[in-house]
Structure 1
Amino acid sequence: MPRFTRLILGVLLLIASAQPCLAGSKPVVFFGINLRYSPRTMYARYQPLMDYLTENTPYRFELLISRDYRQALNDLKDGRVLISSLGDGAFVEAMLLYGAVPIVKPLNHDGKPFYRAAIVVPRDSHAQRITDLKNKRFAFGSHHSITGNLLPRYMLERGGVSVSGLEYRASLKNHDAVTKAILKGQYDAGSVKEVFAGRYWQYGLRVLAFSDPIPSVPLVVRPDIPPPVRDAVVAALLKLDRRNPAHREIMSRWDDEFQHGFAPASATDYREQIWMFQSIPFGCGSGCHR
């Protein structure tokens, strides 16, 4: 490897250290997230949150975008980031395998810290209930997604459609991929987070069924995060009030999931999700998340 290339790689590795490091007048804290949209869209949706945290804490927050959920987990495990926004299954894995700690959870448009899975179909689909999906093509999300995979399996079974009774099924990489595949006519139905169902309604998606509400996906931190960093993030996010017009204006520039404020989160909030991950036959009863 050329000397110059080794030097650049060394500098990048030094920058990627998750422990707060000095940059200008503020220590830098790296905030991890997996690639969910194009890099440009990721920056547009999440950089304003970094800017807010930088302005309202003693730290400067930098995004570290990973190519997929597995790399995002490794970034947290290996200390390249102190805080992460993980997918709605990856956060459970981070808790079970690496001791990640939930600190805050986003509120929905009703001001409640819950969200739902949505089974969606094209707007002109003849399906009116879950039983109409027998022998249809179904797009699940990632195997490790609660709303993209685990909850919809329960919903289908409860609605009288066994997963084996689908004509064809596949697990796509994320919610965005599921919605686009349905709109392209590649699948008859699929499962996504409620926020994605709302986002793509205008393009021709219709919700066939919602799951029961479950606690929303939290921001998680490493178990050894310096308490002042953790406390500063929690304080900055919990002080936002969705009823305050100035606060609503700040959050309007953030990803849809974070536009309504936050509530405190703890590990006990997610006992049901952990049970789903470890249960048979819908989760990972073999113990891969223990």
Structure 2
Amino acid sequence: MAISNNSGKNYQSPLLRLPMRVVKNLLLFIGLLTLFSCGSPESQQKSERPPLNKPQGNVEKPVVYFGVITRYNPRIMYEEYQPIMDYLTENTPYRFELKLGKTYEDAVEYLCNGIVDIASLGVITYLEAHEKCGAIPIVRPMNKDGEPYYHSIIVVRENSPIKSLQDLKGHSFAFASEHSTSGYFIPRYYLEKSGLKLQDFSKVENLKHHDSVAKAVLSGRFDAGSVKDIIALRYIAKGLKILYISDPIPSVPFVVRPDCDKKLITAVKEALLKINPKDPVQQQKMVKWNEEFRYGFVEAKDTDYDPVRRIFEKYH
């Protein structure tokens, strides 16, 4: 084998001066070395793939920020609401990220100021957002009986001598946030209907979360308190008992601003309305969801909340 070098003279490869057996073995060794260093085309392709948690070109979904009122402490909020974000990400063309504020007011501000695109609000905070920026309800959850309602519950300790709302006079009472529907507005309405005003209690305080109210009553810090039904049921086994149950309250809505992208609204509604809580496969997927959202959804409209609107106008 002769190759021409830059000077124009013929150049003989050193390989030709070696015995043929040695040349064959050397070429075989070089071939094997190349194979193992480069790998197969498939292994090369795998090594070039980016990690799953990094954007992959045009397949990255647009991010939708989802706000929620601070019903519980942040740890519980992330544990019980992140699975819903994952479901929406899997079932829509968007990637949903949870964005929590520190107060009920933050959730309204985040929605109205465009910091979040959609939010799960309470009934009162929805009415506040509707008043502030024209927020629109799109869906609301059903309860385990297949109805789009929930209840406000007044709880006491299981060994409490308090037997009726009238017995609460002279005792201490814990409400949830002053922006809470079932933790403040509704129980205050029923307490006044029974003849009790705030000044009739020995002490009244608004606590930040519903579970904070339940714990405060359980510990003896307060004689009674008001919480939403799913919290009351969690704490009955821990030593609380139900003193009073409200009439049905329209369930809490998922809401958007009037200028929200119609494609986003349609995608969210389709993903949530197709949930069948009786399907065992879907039940398994929802087992880690907040209990309020495990039983399917129905469409929501502003007039659904007219009964609470009258109470809102009275105490707001």
TM over 0.5, shorter chain? yes
Note the C-alpha offset of 1:255: 0.7
User: Is residue 118–residue 207 contact of structure 1 (8 Å, CA) maintained in 2?
Assistant: yes
Note the C-alpha offset of 1:24: 4.6
Aligned to 1:108, which of 124, 143, 150? 143
What is the percentage of aligned positions where both structures have the same residue? 47
**Mapped pair 1:47 → 2:82:** yes
Q: 1:35 to 1:214 in 2, by over 3 A?
A: closer
Q: 1:204 to 1:193 in 2, by over 3 A?
A: same
Q: 2: CA distance between counterparts of 1:258 and 1:206?
A: 24
Note the C-alpha offset of 1:266: 0.5
Note the C-alpha offset of 1:190: 0.7
Aligned to 1:243, which of 254, 261, 278? 278
Q: 1:23 to 1:71 in 2, by over 3 A?
A: farther
TM normalised by structure 2 equals 0.79
Residue equivalent to 2:242: 207
**Mapped pair 1:141 → 2:158:** no
Q: 2: CA distance between counterparts of 1:156 and 1:91?
A: 23
Q: 1:23 to 1:99 in 2, by over 3 A?
A: farther
**Mapped pair 1:73 → 2:94:** no
Q: 2: CA distance between counterparts of 1:264 and 1:34?
A: 20
Amino acid at match of 2:79: A
User: Is residue 131–residue 159 contact of structure 1 (8 Å, CA) maintained in 2?
Assistant: yes
Q: 2: CA distance between counterparts of 1:209 and 1:38?
A: 25
Residue equivalent to 1:64: 99
User: Is residue 70–residue 209 contact of structure 2 (8 Å, CA) maintained in 1?
Assistant: no
Amino acid at match of 2:119: S
User: Is residue 72–residue 209 contact of structure 2 (8 Å, CA) maintained in 1?
Assistant: no
**What are the equivalent positions in structure 2 for 1:78-157 lying under 5 Å apart?**
78-157=113-192
Q: Secondary structure at the match of 1:138?
A: strand
**Unpaired runs of at least 5, structure 2:** 1-56
Residue equivalent to 1:265: 300
Q: 2: CA distance between counterparts of 1:65 and 1:140?
A: 21
User: Is residue 251–residue 261 contact of structure 1 (8 Å, CA) maintained in 2?
Assistant: no
TM normalised by structure 1 equals 0.85
Amino acid at match of 2:238: Y
Residue equivalent to 1:219: 254
Aligned to 1:184, which of 207, 219, 223? 219
Amino acid at match of 2:173: F
User: Is residue 103–residue 220 contact of structure 1 (8 Å, CA) maintained in 2?
Assistant: yes
Q: Secondary structure at the match of 1:129?
A: coil
Note the C-alpha offset of 1:88: 4.0
Q: 1:23 to 1:217 in 2, by over 3 A?
A: farther
Instruction: Give the greater-gyration-radius structure (CA).
Output: 2
Residue equivalent to 1:253: 288
Q: 1:154 to 1:34 in 2, by over 3 A?
A: closer
Deviations 1:177-215 (A, max 9, x none): 211111111100011111111121121111101010011
**Unpaired runs of at least 5, structure 1:** 1-21, 285-290
Aligned to 1:233, which of 241, 248, 268? 268
User: Is residue 53–residue 61 contact of structure 1 (8 Å, CA) maintained in 2?
Assistant: yes
User: Is residue 123–residue 305 contact of structure 2 (8 Å, CA) maintained in 1?
Assistant: no
Deviations 1:107-150 (A, max 9, x none): 11111000111011011111111111111101112212121111
Q: Secondary structure at the match of 2:269?
A: helix
Cα root mean square deviation, aligned = 1.6
